[in-house]
Amino acid sequence: MITGLSHVSIVVPDLAAALEKMRVTYGLNAGEIKVNDEQGVRMTYIDLGNAKIELMEPSRADSPIAKFLERNPKGGIHHFCLGVDSVVQTTDALTAAGVQVLGAGKVQLNVHGERIAFVHPKDFLGALIELEEHGG
């Protein structure tokens, strides 16, 4: 079911400024910036070897990330992501256990084309959790 920590996602108001801060202050470099049109975000990852830091900014005003920034103008941690063998099997098992999986079973894909799903914060100690399929 769960295979490990994939990434921690941080929403930022200015992706370019955040990348510069990470590079200059912490010596961390990010990969290519990608756009996920479905989720309305511009994003990139800083690979730490055993997990990643995902940095996101809204690409449109009606995205959930834009709404997050309205409530948190300086940005902040949005969610963390757990790798799973199969999103379908994991969400089916979690739903059977009474967990609310967001999106009503609609298949969602990340910028890499991997299946993803989100677990409602009320069912994971107040934290929004993304499940990301890493199975072969």
- Residue 132 annotated to the active site: no
Write out the chain in H/E/C secondary structure: CEEEEEEEEEECCCHHHHHHHHHHHHCCCCCCCEEECCCCEEEEEEECCCCEEEEEEECCCCCHHHHHHHHCCCCEEEEEEEEECCHHHHHHHHHHCCCCEECCCCCEECCCCCEEEEECHHHCCCCCEEEEECCC
One of 54, 57, 130, 132 is an active-site residue; which one? 130
Q: Distance between alpha carbon 103 and the CA centroid of its chain, in Å?
A: 15
Q: Which of the residues are catalytic?
A: 130
